[in-house]
Amino acid sequence: MHKQVVWITGASSGIGKALAAKYAAQGASVILAARRVDVLNGIAEQLPSPERHLVVYLDLLQSDSFATALHQVLTRYGRIDVLINNAGVSQRALISETSMETERRIMELDYFAQIELTKLILPQFEKQGHGQIAFVSSIAGLLGTQYRASYSAAKAALHMWANSLRAEVASKGIQVAVIFPGFVQTDVSINALNGQGQAQGYDNEATANGLSADDFAEQTVKALNKGKEYIVIGGRKEKLGVFVSRLAPPLLYKMIRKMKVK
């Protein structure tokens, strides 16, 4: 990754922060994007060769921030080699408890914002004749479980959109990957939205006992560097669920109904 330019959204914590550290350690110039610029500045200072990296403000609910960020990036580096769409929000609420406003907000954050940023940057990749786009989906987007209906739907939509994009840009030297994390030790459950769109405010056992963010980042960067396009990263139960979903979907549905996943 020496001298590669890697743009990571949601880089202020969790998976995004861990990915930034891994790419920086491999010699990449990292663009750290999120709303909390003060936090990003602190993270950038801790990365190898801080002067190589760039902090940009990016709010998934404010489209005008996308173009401003892109201008800053191209002014500084003149190109982008890797875009990792990581930012987003999870959910912890039953369908019957979830307002339509919350349904739309999750879809906006986890689907529409991701594809809007990608569509904005895509012409730059086409101009360069190369680039790698990665979307952080979720195993929930492959399986669908209780308390995550809107989140699962958004992540599944992202997966299908990425599949279509991959087919359309393959001849242009652009790679498209989708990453499906299982449980990872981050604040994803704490920040997950309840039915009224408020942060849940507490962690759960599955997340607390999941993979470390550093372990996830190491596996992800390794897979992306190898050019893999379908990347499932998680524990045994999550990987088993993905396997069963392909082999015997009705069996998976029965398994999910018996799970306590909140």
Catalytic residue list: 151
Which residues 6+ apart lie within 8 Å of 20 measured at CB? Answer: 8, 11, 30, 32, 43, 47, 53
- Nearest to residue 83, comparing CAs of 135, 46, 129, 43? 135
The rounded distance, in Å, linking the Cα atoms of 110 and 161 is 12
User: How many C-beta atoms lie closer than 10 Å to residue 115's C-beta?
Assistant: 17
- Residue 32 and residue 53 in contact, taking contact as beta carbons nearer than 8 Å: yes
Beta strands in the chain (DSSP E): 5-9, 29-34, 54-57, 82-85, 131-136, 174-181, 184-185, 211-212, 230-233
